[in-house]
Structure 1
Amino acid sequence: MRILHTSDWHIGRTFHGNSTMDALTEVLGALTEQVRTHSVDVVVVAGDVFDSATPSGPAYSLLGDALVALDEAGARVIVTSGNHDSAARLGFQARLLRDGIHVLTDPLAVGEPITIADADGPVHFFGIPYLEPAIVRQHWPEGDSAGRPLRTQAQTMGHAMDLVRAGMDTHEGRAVAIAHCFAAGVDATAGLEREVRQGGLDVVPLSVFDGPDYVALGHIHGRQTLSERVRYAGAPLHYSFGEQHKARGSWLVDLDAHGLAAVEWLELPVPRRLVTLTGTLHEILAPEMVAEHANEWVCAVYTDALPQAEPMRRLRESYPYCAMVQHQPVAVSEAEERSYSQRLRTAVTDVDRIEAFLEHVRAGHGATDAERDLIRAVLDERVRAEALV
């Protein structure tokens, strides 16, 4: 059996205020072409189908079109819900979908698989929707294997996988698990979801996923191979500049009669590349730089000592897809790295105090000659005004 593993579509997410619907439509079209080209039997979508618990009408339309296209390309489709999805909203239409499309959002059905057979026998797909411990612990009052209440993702996912393994015991054949969580061993530079918590409470040990022939994970936006049989596919689009160098694609998974046979990475197209340009504003606006990157999403990091006037407007005149601008002055020498209070101790006049303040907020760079003239003029005017009172 041939399976295509994808996840984290985030239908409806914006990119710095810009819609991603057209780009995602293009990429999901390419995903459908992968199904045709590689004769895929089953497409697995491991959570975060939508970006919001309250998707817009166009988001539902895009999802419907994508699922129908995958089905018409010859694949069965199995979708689970993620932390961004509303399980109720994503799952309400499950009964209305055609036979080849399955949407799994009920935690109480974790141990009951969707079974699809090939020439080598049945393959059982166990879908685990995103499990928020505070919400789902009421369904499993027995707690974890030690009888403790389910308070963490590790405990909750461990219990769910126990149910999966119990289901595997009663359903003979190969097995695939689908889950949405933050598993131990993930490379922190891979594109962590913005809701991944700090402190380790949501980290699920890799051993929790022992048992199935393949585990398709979602939640991390970059592809990850935690073991030969446990993987993240990542998001099909770049949703932040931090992800710009990460490959976009899906895992093509082959199962033979004995279990996992092969896994191959299939690249997806990038509708518009992301690039971070660093240098002075003058350097970033240089004609040769503009010619190379004018049609890309741009994050401009300008290193001028002082903030420049209207940098975004000036950048967008040359880079119509400039989405972000940051001012990061080149670091000053250690001799100039004094605290604000240290600078004030050497200040005698009001001009000196203003100079100390400017040095503090400008990473060591004080007033320019023109600014000093303006400061003196304002202070002189204040003295004249006080004399008239």
Structure 2
Amino acid sequence: MRLLHTSDWHLGRSFHREDLLGAQGRFVDHLVETVRSPPDGRRVDAVLISGDVYDRALPAVDAVRLCNEALERLAELTRVVLIAGNHDSVQRLGFGSSLMDAGGVHIRTDPARVGEPVVIGDTAIYGIPYLEPEIVRNTWTLDERSHSAVLSEAVRRVRADQVERPGTRSVVMAHAFVTGGTGGEPETSDSERDISVGGASSVPAGLFEGIDYVALGHLHGRQRITDRVRYSGSPLAYSFSEEHHVKGSWLVDLHDGGLDAAFVESPVPRRVARVSGRIDELLSHPRFEPYEECWLQVTLTDPRRPSAAMERLRRRFPHALVLAFEPDGGTGDGGRTWSERIRERSELDIAGDFVTEMSDAPAAGPERELLHEAFEGCRRKEALA
């Protein structure tokens, strides 16, 4: 059984107001060509898309059109299994899924169906969409409100179905934050939406013990949590923190001896990079030549903010998109960028900082509870959109 594992397309997303739809279209072309002509000529039995197909619950028309084109082209060549991510609307993405099953495109957005696999040859593929704890725990009458609790229940349902399929390989697709594997703790990036408000966000890799392959989505960098549990990452860079990522898909062969996995790199429309220094050095030094055609985040370290800085920088770096100013030795925050300073903090903590800044006092218990309810309400509304 050969699988092509991809995820986190985020169709319709822009990059600091740069339109990425054309680049996303070229990725679709690449994916289709990989299925049509795999590196060693062996057929791809299924393409697995592990969530966040779209960048938002109500995607733009052009993004929907590109998704439709991608699924049509892939379905002409192989089977496709797709799950909803935390950016997707389960109702919109799942529309017509029963009809699409007959055409070889299997869309799984309903938590009630996690124990109903797509069976291809001798392999049962279980699609577990993103599970919002506050919503799913009520439906499943769970005591605990956490991602670990709801995903544990989903995997329990998978295992209950497995018992009825002796001799069948098992593949699980999930959109979650999985930790604790032999590959070390997973690396996050700035472009991933925080999912911690709905309870503890991480899920232990050991939950999937005994599954032949786990195709994960949510994190945007390719990662091997264990040999059998992997993230494919996003096909394009969606933040400057991904400047060193290698983007693409996992080509996975399941066999009696275990599995073999090779990474198939996707095309890079334009490299993303970060540079820092004083403006005169940035504009004149030869060592910055490799960055002249990159999408660029520039941090100026001049003692005083230079005038017309972005206009001057774009004469050499026409694709400079973001400008920050951190004078040498003067910020008191270790020289970290704003995104680096908030990376490990929840949305609730960041909102609490805003209250503190505006009122000169930390958010009290009732205020913090109100913020918590507001975030939960937004999350439930988006999940049900």
Offset of residue 190 of structure 1: 4.2
In structure 1, the residue matched to 2:342 is none
Equivalent residues of 1:213, 1:259 under 8 A apart:
no
Cα distance in 1, alignment partners of residues 257 and 61 from structure 2: 40
More moved, 300-309 vs 198-207: 198-207
In structure 1, the residue matched to 2:72 is 68
Deviations 1:118-144 (A, max 9, x none): xxxx21000001000111123212x2x
Q: SS at 2:258's partner residue?
A: strand
Match of 2:81 among 74, 78, 81: 78
Cα distance in 2, alignment partners of residues 43 and 242 from structure 1: 28
Counterpart mapping for 1:137-216 below 5 A:
137-141=137-141, 143=142, 149-172=143-166, 173-185=168-180, 187=185, 189-191=187-189, 193-197=192-196, 201-216=200-215
Equivalent residues of 1:214, 1:260 under 8 A apart:
no
Equivalent residues of 1:187, 1:224 under 8 A apart:
no
Counterpart mapping for 1:30-179 below 5 A:
30-38=30-38, 39-72=43-76, 74-97=77-100, 99-117=103-121, 122-141=122-141, 143=142, 149-172=143-166, 173-179=168-174
Cα distance in 2, alignment partners of residues 312 and 111 from structure 1: 54
User: CA 1:333–1:215 in structure 2 vs 1: closer, same or farther (change >3 Å)?
Assistant: closer
One-letter identity of the residue aligned with 2:57: A
Counterpart mapping for 1:264-275 below 5 A:
264-275=262-273
Q: If the length of structure 2 is used for normalisation, what is the TM-score?
A: 0.79
Equivalent residues of 1:190, 1:223 under 8 A apart:
no
Cα distance in 2, alignment partners of residues 77 and 28 from structure 1: 13
In structure 2, the residue matched to 1:223 is 222
Offset of residue 194 of structure 1: 2.6
User: CA 1:128–1:332 in structure 2 vs 1: closer, same or farther (change >3 Å)?
Assistant: closer
Cα distance in 1, alignment partners of residues 331 and 257 from structure 2: 60
Cα distance in 2, alignment partners of residues 7 and 71 from structure 1: 17
Deviations 1:275-318 (A, max 9, x none): 11221111111273564322210111111111111212222233
Cα distance in 2, alignment partners of residues 271 and 260 from structure 1: 35
Q: SS at 2:163's partner residue?
A: helix
One-letter identity of the residue aligned with 2:164: T
Deviations 1:200-249 (A, max 9, x none): 81110111112321000101000111111111110000000001101101
More moved, 84-93 vs 178-187: 178-187
In structure 2, the residue matched to 1:8 is 8
Q: SS at 2:302's partner residue?
A: coil
Equivalent residues of 1:108, 1:139 under 8 A apart:
no
Give the aligned CA root-mean-square deviation in angstroms.
2.0
User: CA 1:333–1:234 in structure 2 vs 1: closer, same or farther (change >3 Å)?
Assistant: closer
Equivalent residues of 1:290, 1:318 under 8 A apart:
no
Q: SS at 1:79's partner residue?
A: strand
One-letter identity of the residue aligned with 1:176: V
Q: If the length of structure 1 is used for normalisation, what is the TM-score?
A: 0.79
Q: SS at 1:285's partner residue?
A: helix
Equivalent residues of 1:190, 1:243 under 8 A apart:
no
Equivalent residues of 2:11, 2:55 under 8 A apart:
yes
Equivalent residues of 2:47, 2:78 under 8 A apart:
yes
One-letter identity of the residue aligned with 1:123: T
Q: SS at 1:43's partner residue?
A: strand
User: CA 1:284–1:260 in structure 2 vs 1: closer, same or farther (change >3 Å)?
Assistant: same
> Number of paired residues?
322
Offset of residue 189 of structure 1: 3.5
In structure 2, the residue matched to 1:317 is 315
Cα distance in 1, alignment partners of residues 257 and 214 from structure 2: 12
Cα distance in 2, alignment partners of residues 111 and 23 from structure 1: 36
Q: SS at 2:267's partner residue?
A: coil
Cα distance in 2, alignment partners of residues 160 and 259 from structure 1: 27
Q: SS at 2:241's partner residue?
A: helix
Cα distance in 2, alignment partners of residues 176 and 332 from structure 1: 52
Offset of residue 14 of structure 1: 1.2
Deviations 1:295-345 (A, max 9, x none): 2101111111111112122222332211111112111699xxxxxxxxxxx
Q: SS at 2:158's partner residue?
A: helix
Aligned-residue identity in percent: 42
One-letter identity of the residue aligned with 1:217: L
Counterpart mapping for 1:244-263 below 5 A:
244-256=243-255, 258=256, 260-263=258-261
Cα distance in 1, alignment partners of residues 193 and 110 from structure 2: 24
User: CA 1:285–1:198 in structure 2 vs 1: closer, same or farther (change >3 Å)?
Assistant: farther
Equivalent residues of 1:42, 1:76 under 8 A apart:
yes
Cα distance in 2, alignment partners of residues 332 and 109 from structure 1: 55
Deviations 1:173-202 (A, max 9, x none): 111000000011364534262314289811
Equivalent residues of 1:27, 1:271 under 8 A apart:
no
User: CA 1:60–1:212 in structure 2 vs 1: closer, same or farther (change >3 Å)?
Assistant: same
User: CA 1:333–1:226 in structure 2 vs 1: closer, same or farther (change >3 Å)?
Assistant: closer
Structure 2 gaps, min length 5: 333-385
